[in-house]
Amino acid sequence: MMKGLKKWRLFSLLAVITVFLSACSGEDYISTLKPAGEVGQDQFDLLIFSISIMTLVVVVVSFLYLYAFAKFRRSKLGEKHMPKQVEGSHTLEIIWAVIPIVLLLILSVPTILSTYKFADVKAMDEVDEEGNKTALTVNVTAKLYWWEFEYPEQGIVTAQELVVPTGERVYFNLKAADVKHSFWIPAVGGKMDNNVENVNKFWLEFGKESEGLKDGVFYGKCAELCGPSHALMDFKVKTVERAEFDAWVASMQATEGQTASVDSTDLGEATFAQSCLGCHAVSGVGSTGAMGPNLATFADRNRVAGILEHNKENLESWIANPEEYKPGNLMTGKYSELSPEEISAVADYIMSLSVEK
Same domain (yes/no): 83, 210? no
Length of the chain: 357
Query: Comparing C-alpha atoms, which of 236, 213, 214, 233 is closest to residue 223?
Result: 233
Same domain (yes/no): 107, 167? no
Q: How far apart are CA 255 and CA 1, in angstroms?
A: 73
Q: Does residue 285 lie within any of the structural domains? A: yes
β-bridge mates for residue 38, sequence order:
none
Whole-number percent of the chain with pLDDT over 70? 93
Q: How far apart are CA 332 and CA 207, in angstroms?
A: 39
Give the β-pairing of 235-240 and 161-165.
Answer: parallel
Contact of 262 with 273, CB cutoff 8 Å = yes
Last residue of a domain, one of 72, 87, 118: 118
Q: Does residue 165 lie within any of the structural domains? A: yes
Low-confidence ranges of the chain (pLDDT < 50): 23
| Domain region containing 32 | 2-118
What's residue 132's pLDDT? 87
Q: Does residue 127 lie within any of the structural domains? A: no
What's residue 261's pLDDT? 95
8-state DSSP, 147: E
What's residue 4's pLDDT? 54
Domain count, the chain: 2
Query: Comparing C-alpha atoms, which of 250, 244, 226 is closest to residue 327?
Result: 226
Q: How many CA atoms lie within 13 A of 173 on its CB side?
A: 17
Same domain (yes/no): 113, 148? no
Same domain (yes/no): 113, 146? no
For 56-79, what is the HEC assignment?
A: HHHHHHHHHHHHHHHHCCHHHHCC
Contact of 171 with 158, CB cutoff 8 Å = no
Q: Does residue 356 lie within any of the structural domains? A: no
- CA 100 from centre of chain: 34
Q: Does residue 171 lie within any of the structural domains? A: yes
Show the beta-strand stretches assigned E in the chain.
Answer: 136-143, 146-151, 156-159, 161-165, 169-176, 181-185, 189-194, 200-205, 218-222, 235-240, 303-304, 308-309
Q: Does residue 128 lie within any of the structural domains? A: no
Q: Could you count the other beta carbons within 10 Å of the beta carbon of residue 339?
A: 9
Same domain (yes/no): 15, 99? yes
Q: Does residue 173 lie within any of the structural domains? A: yes
Q: Does residue 130 lie within any of the structural domains? A: no
Query: Comparing C-alpha atoms, which of 113, 107, 162 is closest to residue 138?
Result: 162
Give the 3-state secondary structure percentages of the chain, helix then strand then coil, rounded to 5.
40, 20, 40
Same domain (yes/no): 201, 300? yes
Same domain (yes/no): 96, 144? no
Q: Write the CATH number for 24.
A: 1.10.287
Q: Write the CATH number for 222.
A: 2.60.40.420
Q: How far apart are CA 281 and CA 279, in angstroms?
A: 7
Same domain (yes/no): 235, 340? yes
pLDDT digits (tens, 9 = 90+) for 91-105: 888 998 999 999 999
Give the β-pairing of 136-143 and 146-151.
Answer: antiparallel
Same domain (yes/no): 169, 110? no
What's residue 182's pLDDT? 97
One-letter amino acid of 99: I
Same domain (yes/no): 28, 165? no
Same domain (yes/no): 97, 217? no
DSSP letters of 19-40? HHHTT----TTT-TTS--SHHH
8-state DSSP, 259: -
Contact of 136 with 168, CB cutoff 8 Å = yes
Same domain (yes/no): 342, 242? yes
